[in-house]
């Protein structure tokens, strides 16, 4: 008995331990990317290197840039009155992202963090499409990072090239400006990449749950028993709770920091003495777009998976109705069949037909197609009703400390922020 328990514990430790990356590892390219970004902490040396790069590009370089290069002696186009807000906003959000990512990977490991240890229990469709989404994640990350970096590079090169005589330098002016420009660009690239990396990873794990929900919806197309349907939905809700618990603090602090940064930007740019043009406030606008884009990735991913999870309730109710109607037809002695649309005042459309013109606007789960339920009449009415009641009272989704991130929550957040914006504008520019 003791040997059996010890064997089970040993197998569990092996399952929970981190796997070493190799050429055939599905996460090999992703691990390589983390190493190049200096956010991999799989060993003591890499952890020291990762934290050193974080301190250098998130704290040291922005501090030197602000206190040394933001001088009042510059001309009108080279002054940086908003540089402090830009550096503080980017560094604070990057620090939040880096600390959360480090704690996630250190505590769970990359495979467990991305739920690759659970893929063996999923269907082939879920596994293949999740791998496709993993391979797309780095492309999505570059889509958000590269445009911001190119715009920032153009601005920094112009700023250093046109103001070389005014910028403080050590020794050779051209060498000093080149080193300073490269360090600032590396700092900007590092911080924006870390911010978008965590947002894209959140989108990735949310997409896995969406794939599982789409696969779960197929149980209503087959003769499944209620017990298996309930067990699978409980497993999905468990994983959604895990994701919500891991990311709730990150999402909340991300929202608070981005909101505070935007209100500070609004307050500084609406002062009577503020000078706003592309040369002075361009970097502030780019910083704002970067942070808002990251926030939109988080909120859109959470809202989308919550919408998909709640659409299961509509699908279950429709399945229950179709099965109930069909069971009455069977009890009346009629042969279960799809009724002829020509003899009805409101034709019923099944699948692909001429009367189905919704196109891509139809949701995969919450659609208008009826479910041919004549094969499911063996499931009793009481069981189907109990399952529908369960779905109605146990709506799944991403939550932040008990608040479900759905469209109603986003409307509430938007309403509160709009009220604060109007109040702030009323205090600064005299709106009534």
DSSP letters spanning 15-27: HHSPPPP-TT-TT
Helices 83-113, 278-331: crossing angle, 10 deg rounding? 40
pLDDT for the residue numbered 429: 65
d(CA 199, CA 217): 27
Look at residue 123 and tell me whether its pLDDT is greater than 80: yes
pLDDT digits (tens, 9 = 90+) for 305-340: 888 888 888 888 887 787 777 655 544 444 444 444
pTM of structure: 0.82
CB 267 within 8 A of CB 424: yes
Token digits of residue 141: 């990350």
CA 24 vs. chain centroid, Å, equals 27
End-to-end CA gap in the chain: 78
Q: What is the pLDDT of residues 78-119, one digit of tens each?
A: 778 888 899 999 999 999 999 999 999 888 888 888 888 888
Phi, psi of 47 (to 5 degrees): -65, -45
Nearest to 291 by CA among 37, 152, 60, 91: 91
Residue 251 above 90 pLDDT? yes
| pLDDT range class, residue 72, cuts 50, 70, 90 | low
What is the arithmetic mean of pLDDT over 48-75?
83
Token readout for 175 is: 């060498």
Please provide the DSSP assignment of 226-294 as one string.
HHHHHHHHHHHHHHHHHHHHHHHHHHHHHHHHHHHHHHHHHHHHTSTT----HHHHHHHHHHHHHHHHH
CB 39 within 8 A of CB 197: yes
CA 234, CA 221: separation in Å to the nearest integer? 19
Cβ–Cβ under 8 Å, residues 316 and 328: no
Which pLDDT belongs to residue 6? 54
CA distance 19 to 23: 12
- Round to whole Å and give the CA distance between 35 and 299: 28
Q: What is the mean pLDDT of residues 350-374?
A: 54
- Report helix, strand or coil for 399: strand
Higher-scoring residue by pLDDT: 340, 280: 280
Residue 31: the pLDDT is 84
Average pLDDT, the chain: 79
User: What is the DSSP code (8-state) at residue 38?
Assistant: T
Q: Which pLDDT band, with edges at 50, 70 and 90, does 341 fall under? A: very low
For 127-176, give the DSSP string: HHHHHHHHHHHHHHHHHHHHHHHHHHHHHHHHHHHHTTTTS--SSSHHHH
Q: How confident is the model at residue 23 (pLDDT cuts 50, 70, 90)?
A: very low
| Residue 11 CB neighbour total at 10 angstroms | 10
In terms of Cα–Cα distance, which of 116, 292, 122, 94 is closest to 204? 116
Break the chain into its structural domains and give their ranges: 28-305
pLDDT of residue 343 exceeding 60:
no
Tell me the CA distances in angstroms from 353 to 221, 257, 276, 357, one per residue in order: 19, 50, 56, 8
pLDDT for residue 13: 45
The DSSP code for 335 is P
155-196 per-position pLDDT tens digit: 888 888 876 556 666 667 778 888 888 999 999 999 999 999
SS3 171: coil
- For residue 11, CA distances in Å to 7, 21, 25 come to 6, 20, 20
Element (H, E) at 115: none
pLDDT at res. 339:
47
> What is the reported pLDDT for 192?
95
Which pLDDT band, with edges at 50, 70 and 90, does 76 fall under? low
Q: What is the DSSP letter of 59?
A: I
């Amino acid at each position: 008995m003791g040997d059996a328990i010890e064997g089970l514990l040993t197998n569990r430790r092996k399952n929970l331990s981190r796997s070493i990356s190799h050429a055939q590892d599905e996460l090999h390219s992703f691990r390589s990317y983390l190493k190049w970004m200096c956010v991999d902490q799989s060993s003591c040396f890499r952890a020291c290197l990762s934290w050193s790069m974080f301190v250098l590009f998130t704290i040291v370089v922005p501090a030197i840039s602000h206190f040394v290069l933001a001088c009042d002696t510059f001309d009108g186009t080279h002054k940086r009155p908003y540089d402090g807000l830009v550096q503080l906003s980017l560094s604070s959000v990057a620090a939040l992202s880096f600390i959360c990512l480090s704690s996630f990977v250190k505590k769970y490991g990359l495979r467990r963090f991305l739920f690759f240890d659970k893929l063996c229990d999923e269907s082939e469709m879920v596994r293949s499409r999740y791998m496709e989404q993993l391979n797309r994640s780095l492309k999505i990350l570059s889509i958000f990072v590269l445009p911001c970096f190119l715009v920032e590079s153009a601005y920094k090169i112009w700023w250093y090239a046109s103001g070389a005589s005014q910028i403080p330098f050590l020794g050779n002016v051209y060498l000093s400006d080149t080193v300073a420009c490269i360090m600032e660009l590396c700092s900007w690239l590092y911080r924006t990449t870390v911010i978008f990396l965590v947002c894209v990873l959140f989108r990735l794990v949310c997409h896995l749950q969406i794939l599982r929900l789409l696969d779960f919806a197929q149980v209503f197309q087959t003769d499944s028993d209620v017990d298996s349907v309930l067990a699978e939905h409980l497993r999905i809700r468990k994983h959604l709770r895990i994701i919500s618990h891991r990311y709730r603090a990150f999402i909340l602090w991300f929202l608070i920091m981005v909101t505070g940064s935007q209100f500070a930007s609004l307050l500084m740019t609406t002062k009577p003495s503020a000078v706003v043009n592309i040369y002075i406030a361009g970097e502030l606008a780019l910083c704002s777009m970067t942070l808002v884009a990251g926030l939109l990735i988080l909120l859109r991913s959470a809202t989308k998976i919550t919408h998909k999870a709640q659409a299961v309730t509509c699908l279950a109710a429709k399945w229950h109705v179709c099965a109930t109607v069909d069971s009455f037809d069977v009890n009346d002695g009629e042969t279960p069949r799809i009724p002829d649309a020509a003899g009805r005042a409101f034709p019923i459309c099944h699948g692909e037909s001429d009367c189905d013109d919704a196109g891509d606007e139809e949701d995969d789960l919450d659609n208008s197609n009826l479910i041919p339920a004549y094969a499911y009449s063996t499931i009793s009415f009481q069981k189907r009703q109990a399952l529908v009641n369960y779905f109605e009272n146990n709506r799944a989704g991403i939550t932040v400390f008990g608040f479900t991130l759905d469209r109603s929550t986003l409307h509430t957040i938007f309403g509160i922020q709009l009220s604060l914006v109007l109040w702030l504008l009323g205090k600064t520019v005299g709106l009534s």
